Chain A
Amino acid sequence: MPEPALFSARIQAQFPAGVLATHQFRGDDTVVVRPEALREVAQFLRDDPACACLVLSDATAVDYLKYPSGQEQSPSGTVPTTRFEVVYHLYSLEHNQRVRVKVPVEAAAPQVESLTPVWPAANWFEREIWDMFGIRFAGHPNLKRLLMYEEFDGHPLRKDYPVTKRQPLIGPAT
C-alpha cells in the first residue's frame, strides 16, 4: 500500500499563503495556518474528497505565556509569535488519517473565527476554550461558559491564573 499523502502537504499546496508552517512529530501531522485562512482551510479539509475530515475529534487551546514571542523555541517546535494557539484535531474516517490544525491567536482581545458552521461539534469545544482561556469565537451561536459558572472571574487554564486562587462562593441572594 502506498504511503498516503499527508494532509498538511495538501493544505500547503492548496493555500500557500495561508499556511505558516507544517511539521511531523512522532507520526502526528501538524499544519499551522493563519487565522484569516482558518475557515477556508477547515471547509476544504471537510469537503475535499482527498481529505474528507468529517470528524472534529477535539479542539483546545494552549497558552504560551511562558514562551515570549521569538525568544525561545516553543514546545510545539515552532517559534511562537503569539500568546495563544488554538488546536484542532481532525480525523478522516475514509482515509483513516488524523491531522492537527493550529492557529496562532494574539494576546490582546484574542479571537478566532468559529468553526461551528463547519462542524457542529465545535460548538461545545469552543465554549470550553472561551471558558478556560478567554478566547472569543466570532460567529459562535451561543458563546457562554461551559464548565465554570457565569459569575466566575477569569479564565482558569491561562498560565497567569494562579492555581491557588479562590473565588467567593455564589448562591441565591439572602
Chain B
Amino acid sequence: MAETLLNPSSSPADTAPVAYETRDMLLNVGPQHPAMHGIIRIVVRLDGETVKGVDVEIGYLHRGFEKMCEQGGYNHAIPYTDRLNYVSPLINNVGYCMAIEKLMGLTVPERGQYIRVIMSEISRITDHLTCIGASAMELGAFTVFLYMIKAREYLWELIEMVTGARLTISYCRVGGVKADLPEGFEERTRGAIRQVREVLKECDKLLTRNRIFVDRMKGIGVLSRADALAYSVTGPFLRSTGVNYDVRKAQPYLVYDRLQFEVPLGQHGDNLDRYFCRMEEMEQSLRIVEQCLTQLPGGPIQVDDEGRPMAAAEMVDEAKMGRIQAIAGAAPVTDPTLEGTNKSFSQRVNAPAKRAVLPPKDDTYGNIEGLMQHFKLIMYGHGIRPPKGEVYQAVEGANGELGFYVVSDGTDKPYRVRVRPPCLPIMATLPIILTDDMLADIVPTFGSVNMIGGELDR
C-alpha cells in the first residue's frame, strides 16, 4: 500500500478520480466564542465551509425579568429595565414608563417628553455605534472600533451628566423623569454632537469604500422582505429590506410627530444595507436631538425669593423638636445627587399626578402633604395603583420595536409584565440568513443582528 502511495503512476487504475465519501460536519460555535458576544450557541452543519443548517440556542442570560417584575411595585421594575438592552438602557426606561402611563392615562409635561426624546435618541446613537464598531472590529477594523467607542464616550458623558450613571441609569419615572436637565446641558450636547459627527465622518471614510469591509458585507446575510415580515423582524433589520416601518413614524409617541427626520431604507436586506441604515439613522438621531434642543420648552426657573435655603437634614431635626415656626417658609437644600429634583424643576418634567409621581424633595421635607404623598408611594403595600386593565405600548428601540405588555389587577404590583424584545424575532431568522453562506460569514451577519443578551433572554 505504501508503495502505491509513493509511486502512484505504478498502477494506472488508481489515477481515475475517486468519489470520496463526504459527510456534513457539525460545528459548535459559542457560547464561549468571542464573536458570539458570550451567550449564544450556534450549532452549524457544514459542507466544506458552506453552512447547510443552523440551530440557534439562546437563554444563557435569562434572569427572570418578567417574574421579578411581578414581585415588587411598579417603580421597582425600572432598574430591571436598564438591564434589558444594556447598550441603550434609556429607551427601555421610556418604553416601560410609557406603558404604565398609558395604563393610568397620564400625560407627561412637554418638557419631560422632549427630555425623553433627547435621551432616547442619544441612546440610539450609542447603540448603533457599539453595533457597527463591534462588527467592524470582528472583521479586523480595530481602528473603527476605537473611534466609535470614543464617540460613544462623548455621549455617555452626557448621559452621566443627566442621570448620574453611565449604564444603570434608571432615569425615567412613571409620570416623568427623575430630574430636570442639568445646567449647561445644551452647550455640552451641541459640542458632543459636533464631535460625534466628526467621528462618523472618519469612520465612514474608513469603512464605506473599504474593499475588505464591503466584500465581507455585501450580499451576505440576505433576508427577503417577505421573510422579514413573516418573522416580525423590525428596526434597521427590517428597513434594510426596504419596508418602511418605524414606530416613531407609524404610531408617533412622545413628541416625534413634531420633529423632522427621515427613515433610511435599504434595498437588498444584506449586511451592507444594514450598515448603511444604521449609519444614516445616527445622523437622523443627531438631527432629532438638535431640533429638541431648539424646541425644548422651559423658560426661566422660578426661584422663590422668600424661601431661605436650609439643609434638609437640619430642617427635619428642627421639626422633630417642634420648632416648626422657625422653619416655616424655608426652602430645604437637598443633597447634590438630587440636583434637578427641586420643586421648580420637578413640576416642569413630571405629570401633576399625586397617585404616581413622587413629590419634589422640598415638599417631602417641607410639609406634611408632601411627606404623606411620598410615603403613600414608597411604603410597602402602598405605591402606584393603576386601574385594572391591560395595555401594549411599543417604542422604537435601537434594534426595532420594543413592546411592553402590562396587565394590572388594580393592586400595587404588576400582574404581568411582558417585554417584546426586538432581538428575539431577528435571532429566530438566523437559520434562514446564515444557511448557504460561508462559515466565516457568520461573524459579520451575527454582528449586524446586534444581539443584546439582556433583552433577548431577559
Q: A-side interface residues toward B, CB under 8 Å?
A: 25-28, 30, 54-58, 60, 62-63, 66-67, 73-77, 87, 89, 93, 96, 98, 100, 119-121, 123-125, 132, 145-149, 156-157, 161, 163
A147 cross-chain contacts in B, Cβ below 8 A: 58-59, 62, 457-458
Complex: how many Å from CA A109 to CA B308?
Answer: 68
CB distance from B434 to the nearest CB of A (A): 16
Are B232 and A119 in contact, CB atoms less than 8 angstroms apart?
Answer: yes
Complex: how many Å from CA A26 to CA B408?
Answer: 13
Are B392 and A121 in contact, CB atoms less than 8 angstroms apart?
Answer: no
User: Could you list 5 examples of A-B contacts with CB < 8 Å?
Assistant: A55-B229, A55-B232, A57-B232, A63-B416, A163-B71
Q: Which of B205-243 contact A (CB under 8 A)?
A: 227, 229-232, 243
A98 cross-chain contacts in B, Cβ below 8 A: 392
Interface string of B385-402 (1 = CB under 8 A from A): 000111110100000010
Instruction: Select one of A57, A75, A148 contacting B401, CB under 8 A.
Output: A57
* B392, B394, B457, most chain A CB atoms within 10 A: B392
Are A58 and B409 in contact, CB atoms less than 8 angstroms apart?
Answer: no
Which candidate, B133-141, B146-154, B157-165, B418-426, is the interface stretch facing chain A? B418-426
A55 cross-chain contacts in B, Cβ below 8 A: 229, 232
CB distance from B219 to the nearest CB of A (A): 23
Are A121 and B243 in contact, CB atoms less than 8 angstroms apart?
Answer: no
B420 cross-chain contacts in A, Cβ below 8 A: 57-58, 89
CB distance from B435 to the nearest CB of A (A): 14
Are B403 and A58 in contact, CB atoms less than 8 angstroms apart?
Answer: yes
Complex: how many Å from CA A121 to CA B11?
Answer: 59
* B58, B231, B245, B410, most chain A CB atoms within 10 A: B231
Are B392 and A28 in contact, CB atoms less than 8 angstroms apart?
Answer: yes
CB distance from B229 to the nearest CB of A (A): 5
Q: Which residue of B lies closest to A119 (CB)?
A: B230
Complex: how many Å from CA A149 to CA B418?
Answer: 20
Q: Which residue of A lies closest to B245 (CB)?
A: A93
Instruction: Select one of B67, B389, B405 contacting A87, CB under 8 A.
Output: B405
Are A76 and B428 in contact, CB atoms less than 8 angstroms apart?
Answer: no
**B17 at the A/B interface (Cβ < 8 Å)?**
no
Complex: how many Å from CA A56 to CA B392?
Answer: 13
Query: With A148-B59, A148-B62 known to touch, is A62 a contact of B392 (CB < 8 Å)?
Result: no
A89 cross-chain contacts in B, Cβ below 8 A: 392, 403, 405, 420
Are A93 and B59 in contact, CB atoms less than 8 angstroms apart?
Answer: no
Number of interface residues of B (CB under 8 A): 43
Q: Which residue of B lies closest to A156 (CB)?
A: B67
B191 cross-chain contacts in A, Cβ below 8 A: none
Are B251 and A96 in contact, CB atoms less than 8 angstroms apart?
Answer: yes
A77 cross-chain contacts in B, Cβ below 8 A: 388-390
Complex: how many Å from CA A60 to CA B428?
Answer: 16
B407 cross-chain contacts in A, Cβ below 8 A: 62, 75-76
B66 cross-chain contacts in A, Cβ below 8 A: 132, 157
Complex: how many Å from CA A54 to CA B231?
Answer: 9
**B192 at the A/B interface (Cβ < 8 Å)?**
no
Query: With A93-B243, A119-B232, A147-B457 known to touch, is A26 a contact of B64 (CB < 8 Å)?
Result: no
B375 cross-chain contacts in A, Cβ below 8 A: none
CB distance from B63 to the nearest CB of A (A): 10
CB distance from B449 to the nearest CB of A (A): 14
Are B391 and A54 in contact, CB atoms less than 8 angstroms apart?
Answer: no
Are B391 and A25 in contact, CB atoms less than 8 angstroms apart?
Answer: yes
Query: With A57-B232, A93-B245, A124-B428 known to touch, is A100 a contact of B392 (CB < 8 Å)?
Result: yes
Query: With A26-B105, A148-B59 known to touch, is A121 a contact of B388 (CB < 8 Å)?
Result: no
Complex: how many Å from CA A147 to CA B457?
Answer: 7
Complex: how many Å from CA A66 to CA B67?
Answer: 15
Q: Which residue of A lies closest to B64 (CB)?
A: A156
Are A75 and B67 in contact, CB atoms less than 8 angstroms apart?
Answer: no
B392 cross-chain contacts in A, Cβ below 8 A: 28, 57-58, 89, 98, 100
Query: With A73-B388, A98-B392, A100-B392 known to touch, is A58 a contact of B59 (CB < 8 Å)?
Result: no
Are A121 and B428 in contact, CB atoms less than 8 angstroms apart?
Answer: yes
